[in-house]
């Protein structure tokens, strides 16, 4: 062989891909990461303009705490001897909901429960029972090292070390959060609140959200907490790349993979848009499953189990994003970093129904010029609404959509329009173009109610030597979840390579 052979080639430098790469490089594997864009991070990337540093995606970050086993971003950085300074957020979300439901999810667990019970005094017992059950799930997760459930040696070892925790988790694997909530809660408005508690990170209501994921999110916010990385979310990926290179791994930018190469049914390498070919013993795709199996592999190579998966899951919507620079006086004296705005429960799951807001400069003022704040407002939207437009129509539609969102945000921040300094509008087409995600999708969501997390695929695929990582794999969306996927993928590959 006269070509260079890598142990592992990772397609894409999202957080799942980078965690896989750094874990393996730290174990001595020869790793190459290929990234189509100019910087790493994917949805956890950043861009800069006129003195502002904007996060591409959300800035509500779990996994940067300093205790327990579930702080996976912290552990991923520690594996390559790095640390990131972070700022604690005292409130996870400030909800602005119909029926006058104006509620803050305080970092302090008891304070949050009291806030919610004040609105639903007759449901105190149900509220405590539901969220306490979420804590049970979290405590089980938080007592074990989170690695690949596909590796029998690890599963047996963990079971013998923590039998009760494992049995507890096994019990919740087939359950959804909505089923558990309905055991304890009867008030339809309170159940709607549990729905949006799930929707704000899973993009589906509670009856479609796995209980394992809900237990993680609803409890870790009061344990490890929401912590914002100093310098912006993009710092997480930048640090992981620094660690990758220190450990001897490589990353190439503007290296768009167009084909996964196979020989006798096994993955053996990749081809770039410029024709360059790289060979690897193991190939990891951090692209979505649709991109992996419908674009990077020949259409006739889609395995049957992937077709089955596509019967169960569909693409979630993309997002319409407003990245805004605004004069500081626009924000009231006591303003939280994260907000969710919904005026009508009927619209929660519709395009542009729910508005998510991040104001990271409340935690890290250095991201904006002095006297200004960043507001990142985003709302689910479908790519089909933005296709087939002329450049003029596209620009006009963007302006109109931005105007409508700003009008709605004025309910929370009066004078926002007058205080605007800078605005960039991103559509689902923008997400597709810069993040390389099919239709700009946020990730997979169930087509119908499924058995909790049981339908989510692990990292190995039906094609030998090809693995998937990221939000198309167990346990799903969110930075901490894709970090879990990265740990699991790296562990599985390390065992397969005998590292």
Mean pLDDT across 90-99: 94
Q: Considering only 16-25, 133-142, 248-257, 330-339, which range has the smallest mean pLDDT? A: 133-142
Structure confidence at residue 158 (pLDDT) = 67
How many Cβ atoms from other residues are within 10 Å of residue 417's Cβ? 14
What integer pLDDT is reported at residue 139 of this predicted model?
81
Query: 195: helix, coil or strand?
Result: helix
Give the pLDDT confidence score for residue 150 in this predicted structure. Answer: 64
CA distance 135 to 219: 5
- Does the pLDDT value for residue 95 go beyond 50? yes
Answer whether residue 1 shows pLDDT above 60: no
Say whether pLDDT at 442 is over 70: yes
388 Cβ contact list (under 8 Å, min separation 6)? none
Predicted local distance difference test score (pLDDT) of residue 144: 67
pLDDT number for residue 448: 82
pLDDT tens digits along 264-317: 989 999 999 999 999 999 999 999 999 999 899 987 778 888 888 888 888 889
Q: How far apart are the first and last CA of the chain?
A: 23
Q: Report, as an integer, the average pLDDT of 47-57.
A: 92
What is the rounded distance in angstroms from the CA atom of residue 429 to the CA atom of residue 231? 27
Considering the chain, what percentage of its residues have pLDDT values greater than 90?
Answer: 66
Q: What is the pLDDT of residue 310?
A: 85
Mean pLDDT of 404-419: 94
Q: Is the pLDDT of residue 39 over 70?
A: yes
Check the CA dihedral 336-98-132-179 and report its sign: negative
Cα 32 to Cα 12, 28, 244, 252, 447: the distances in Å are 10, 13, 9, 8, 35
Q: What is the pLDDT of residue 461?
A: 92
d(CA 197, CA 220): 14
- CB-based burial label for 435 (10 Å; 0-12, 13-18, 19+): buried
> Looking at residues 125-132, what average pLDDT do you find?
96
- At residue 148 the predicted structure's pLDDT band, cuts being 50, 70 and 90, is low
Q: How far apart are CA 489 and CA 29, in angstroms?
A: 14
Per-residue pLDDT, 474: 80
Mean residue pLDDT of the chain comes to 90
Label residue 72 by pLDDT band (50, 70, 90): confident
Q: Which of 160-164, 363-367, 391-395 has the lowest mean pLDDT?
A: 160-164
Instruction: Provide mean pLDDT across the span 186-215.
Output: 91
H or E segment at 379?
A: strand 372-381
């Amino acid at each position: 062989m006269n070509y260079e052979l890598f142990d592992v080639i990772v397609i894409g430098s999202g957080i799942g891909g980078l965690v896989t790469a750094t874990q393996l490089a730290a174990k001595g594997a020869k790793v190459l990461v290929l990234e189509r864009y100019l910087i790493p991070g994917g949805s956890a990337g950043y861009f800069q303009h006129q003195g502002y540093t904007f996060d591409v995606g959300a800035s509500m970050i779990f996994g940067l705490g300093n205790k327990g086993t579930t702080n996976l971003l912290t552990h991923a950085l520690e594996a390559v001897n790095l640390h990131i300074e972070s700022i604690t957020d005292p409130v996870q979300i400030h909800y602005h909901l119909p029926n006058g439901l104006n509620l803050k999810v305080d970092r302090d667990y008891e304070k949050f429960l009291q806030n919610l019970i004040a609105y639903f005094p007759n449901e105190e017992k149900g509220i405590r029972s539901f969220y306490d059950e979420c804590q049970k799930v979290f405590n089980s997760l938080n007592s074990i090292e989170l690695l690949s459930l596909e590796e029998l040696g690890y599963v047996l070892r963990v079971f013998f070390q923590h039998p009760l925790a494992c049995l507890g988790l096994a019990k919740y694997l087939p359950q959804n959060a909505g089923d558990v909530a309905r055991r304890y809660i009867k008030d339809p408005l309170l159940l709607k609140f549990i729905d949006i508690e799930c929707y704000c990170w899973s993009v589906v209501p509670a009856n479609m959200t796995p209980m394992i994921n809900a237990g993680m999110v609803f409890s870790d916010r009061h344990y490890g907490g929401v912590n914002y990385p100093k310098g912006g979310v993009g710092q997480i990926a930048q640090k992981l790349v620094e660690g990758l290179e220190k450990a001897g791994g490589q990353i190439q930018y503007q290296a768009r993979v167009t084909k996964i190469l196979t020989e006798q049914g096994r993955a053996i390498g990749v081809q770039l848009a410029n024709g360059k070919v790289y060979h690897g013993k193991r190939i990891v795709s951090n692209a979505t499953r649709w991109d992996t199996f419908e674009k990077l592999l020949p259409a006739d190579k889609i395995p049957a189990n992937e077709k089955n998966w596509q019967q169960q899951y569909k693409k979630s919507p993309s997002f319409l994003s407003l990245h805004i620079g605004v004069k500081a006086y626009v924000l009231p004296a006591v303003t939280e970093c994260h907000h969710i705005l919904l005026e009508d429960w009927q619209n929660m799951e519709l395009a542009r129904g729910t508005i998510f807001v991040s104001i990271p400069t409340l935690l890290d003022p250095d991201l904006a010029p002095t006297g200004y704040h960043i507001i990142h407002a985003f709302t689910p939207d479908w790519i089909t609404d933005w296709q087939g437009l002329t450049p003029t129509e596209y620009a006009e539609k963007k302006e109109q959509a931005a105007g409508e969102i700003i009008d709605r945000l004025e309910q929370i921040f009066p004078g926002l329009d007058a205080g605007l300094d800078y605005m960039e509008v991103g559509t689902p087409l923008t997400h597709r173009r810069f993040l390389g995600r099919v239709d700009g999708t946020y990730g997979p969501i169930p087509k119908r109610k499924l058995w909790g997390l049981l339908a989510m695929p692990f990292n190995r695929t039906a094609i030998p030597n090809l693995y998937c990582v990221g939000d198309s794999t167990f346990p799903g969306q969110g930075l901490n979840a894709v970090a879990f996927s990265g740990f699991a993928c790296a562990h599985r590959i390390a065992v397969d390579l005998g590292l």
